């Protein structure tokens, strides 16, 4: 039995960056905690390789594949009462209730041979009759064939999650709602251990955006009986599915953590109990950024603007380029560096290059490609983010370790990171300026305000450095998780 079982979906150890890096750093920072990993993937891929070395305190990794029919020994048993429970749960979900969820979660617990196997669940007469009843209840004008295949495609992943035999642990920690959150709730119900949820982004909101903009989900131009409106019948089906998994995760979690207050408001809107909510932002190792010197030759008297990030549409590099043009017209001695990889979206990269050339900025803007950013921050006068979507950008923390003020769009936690979240934090003063999205003018005005006021820039840099040391120190924030783990592990031991 591990101390903490991390329940993950599509991340560590096969994917780099983001949540994966967070998981890796958390595990490494708590060597006295024994972790196990439950990893949910879409399907089996033998060609995949680990992108991280596995720390010694990870005792095992169990993988679950959502779109896979498991080979199990077929057991001929009558399951009348179990089918009645399934029908009752469907009726409750239709009414927005979860009264029978505990009992349903235990269908597969510790008795995989006695539960309903996938052949019976998907191909039996009882399954067909339930499907017919649900179709009539929905009162949809969409074809039954489309209804059937949507039901099949949405229920196979659910079946595989419910059929997972969860390893025992003293505490379960899921890093999202969705399938991972659902599995975490099942683990809590079956094994009687506490469940912690950390949401970096709001999973349900992210999936909703993807679903509404998707082209692979079938749409009819007509249909009725769609709850919530605004999306076609089958898109709303998928939205409701992820909403169901979110409600389950929130209901069964003992702690619900996110990175910043904006996310917390979304959690409340989605039904998370206020008493369970807390904020633990991502942190940074301040020491890891100390001792570096500027690695690029600086022109005497020039002011350097840095954009740190991938050259991709979500970072809105074009707004940055346009803003630099406006700044250049006001402050002729500026230079701009776009610091980050350019190969993820080559077409967009070329569009940014063309825009740079059209605005006669070839001698002002440099695309560096991949570099060690630690060697560039000491030479920058301001760091700029023009992203259209962020959670809690690490770039701001990195710049602040070097005392560099920032300009950032008003997305995610950027406002909190530059202006402060708590009264104590805000008392430090601003460490940069927040701008409107997709506004070259607003971005340029903020850049010029900082570059034209050296004393303001110095004070902002000092405030950022202090803010990072006090409120975003990785060691302190990881210790908060250690305290949480220790508390709930003691709760289990004390039972």
Closest CA to 399 of 432, 361, 357: 432
Who contacts 300 (Cβ-Cβ below 8 Å, separation ≥6)? none
Question: What b/e sequence results for 99-111 when a residue is b if at least 16 CB atoms lie within 10 Å of its CB, and e otherwise?
Answer: ebbeebbebbbee
pLDDT tens for the 495 residues of the chain, in order:
999 999 999 999 998 878 998 999 999 999 999 999 999 999 999 999 999 999 999 999 999 999 998 765 555 555 677 788 888 888 888 888 889 899 888 877 655 554 677 778 888 898 999 999 999 988 888 899 999 999 999 999 999 999 899 999 999 999 999 999 999 999 999 999 999 999 998 888 888 878 887 777 766 644 443 344 457 888 999 999 999 999 999 999 999 999 999 999 999 999 999 999 999 999 999 999 989 999 899 999 999 999 999 999 999 999 999 999 999 999 999 999 999 999 989 999 999 999 999 999 999 999 999 999 999 999 999 999 999 988 899 999 999 999 999 999 999 999 999 999 999 999 999 999 999 999 999 999 999 999 999 999 999 999 999 999 999 999 999 999 999 999 999 977 666
Domains and CATH numbers, the chain: 2-71+120-279 (3.40.50), 286-472 (3.40.50.2000)
Would you say 392 and 412 are in contact if contact means Cβ atoms under 8 Å apart? yes
Classify residue 199 by its DSSP letter: E
Q: Say how many C-beta atoms besides its own lie within 10 A of residue 300's C-beta.
A: 5
Q: How far is CA 107 from its chain centroid?
A: 30
3 state SS of 60: strand
Instruction: Give the pLDDT confidence score for residue 227 in this predicted structure.
Output: 41
Classify residue 194 by its DSSP letter: -
3 state SS of 408: strand
Distances in whole angstroms, Cα of residue 241 to Cα of each of 38, 207, 332, 337: 21, 10, 54, 44
Radius of gyration of the chain (CA): 26
Strand-pair partners of 308: 339
What pTM was computed for the model? 0.85
Strand order in the sheet with 58-65: 58-65, 35-41, 2-9, 169-174, 195-199, 255-258, 277-279
User: Own/partner pairs for 129-136, CB < 8 Å, 24+ apart?
Assistant: 130/83, 130/86, 130/87, 130/90, 133/87, 134/90
Q: What is the 3-state secondary structure (H, E, C) of 437-474?
A: CCCHHHHHHHHHHHHCCHHHHHHHHHHHHHHHHHHCEH
């Amino acid at each position: 039995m591990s101390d903490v079982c991390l329940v993950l979906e599509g991340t560590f150890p096969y994917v780099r960056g983001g949540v994966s890096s967070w998981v890796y750093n958390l595990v490494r920072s708590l060597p006295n905690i024994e972790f196990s990993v439950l990893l949910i993937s879409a399907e089996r891929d033998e060609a995949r390789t680990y992108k991280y070395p596995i720390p010694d305190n990870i005792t095992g990794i169990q993988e679950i594949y959502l779109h896979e029919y498991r080979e199990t020994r077929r057991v001929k048993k009558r399951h009348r009462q179990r089918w009645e429970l399934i029908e009752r749960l469907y009726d409750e979900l239709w009414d927005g209730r979860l009264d029978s969820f505990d009992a349903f979660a235990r269908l597969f617990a510790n008795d995989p041979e006695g539960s309903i196997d996938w052949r019976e669940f998907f191909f039996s007469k009882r399954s067909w009759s339930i499907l017919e009843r649900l179709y009539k209840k929905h009162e949809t004008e969409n074809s039954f064939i489309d209804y059937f295949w949507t039901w099949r495609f949405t229920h196979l992943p659910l079946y595989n999650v419910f059929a997972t035999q969860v390893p025992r642990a003293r505490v379960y920690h899921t890093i999202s709602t969705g399938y991972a959150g659902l599995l975490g709730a099942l683990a809590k119900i079956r094994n009687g251990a506490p469940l912690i949820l950390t949401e970096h982004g709001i999973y349900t909101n992210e999936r909703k955006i993807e679903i509404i903009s998707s082209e692979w989900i079938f749409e009819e131009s007509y249909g009725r009986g769609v709850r919530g409106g605004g999306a076609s019948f089958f898109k709303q089906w998928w939205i409701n599915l992820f909403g169901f998994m979110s409600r389950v995760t929130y209901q069964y979690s003992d702690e619900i953590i996110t990175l910043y207050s904006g996310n917390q408001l979304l959690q409340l809107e989605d039904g998370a109990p206020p008493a369970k909510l807390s904020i633990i932002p991502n942190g940074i190792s301040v020491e890891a950024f100390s001792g570096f010197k500027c690695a690029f030759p600086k022109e005497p008297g020039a002011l350097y603007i840095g954009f740190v990030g991938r050259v991709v549409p979500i970072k809105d590099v074009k707004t940055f380029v346009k803003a630099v043009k406006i700044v250049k017209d006001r402050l002729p001695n500026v230079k701009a560096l776009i610091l980050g990889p350019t190969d993820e979206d080559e077409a967009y990269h070329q569009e940014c290059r063309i825009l740079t050339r059209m605005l006669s900025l070839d001698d002002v803007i440099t695309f560096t490609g991949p570099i060690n950013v630690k060697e560039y921050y000491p030479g920058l006068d301001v760091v700029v983010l023009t992203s259209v979507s962020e959670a809690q950008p690490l770039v701001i923390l990195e710049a602040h370790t070097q005392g560099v003020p920032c300009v950032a769009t008003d997305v995610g936690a950027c406002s909190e990171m530059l202006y402060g979240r708590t009264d104590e934090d805000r008392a430090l003063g601003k460490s940069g300026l927040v701008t409107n999205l997709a506004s070259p003018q607003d971005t340029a005005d903020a850049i010029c305000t900082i570059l034209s006021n050296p004393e303001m820039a110095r004070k902002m840099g000092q405030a950022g450095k202090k803010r990072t040391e006090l409120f975003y120190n990785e060691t302190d924030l990881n210790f908060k998780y250690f305290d949480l783990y220790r508390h709930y592990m003691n709760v289990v031991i004390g039972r």
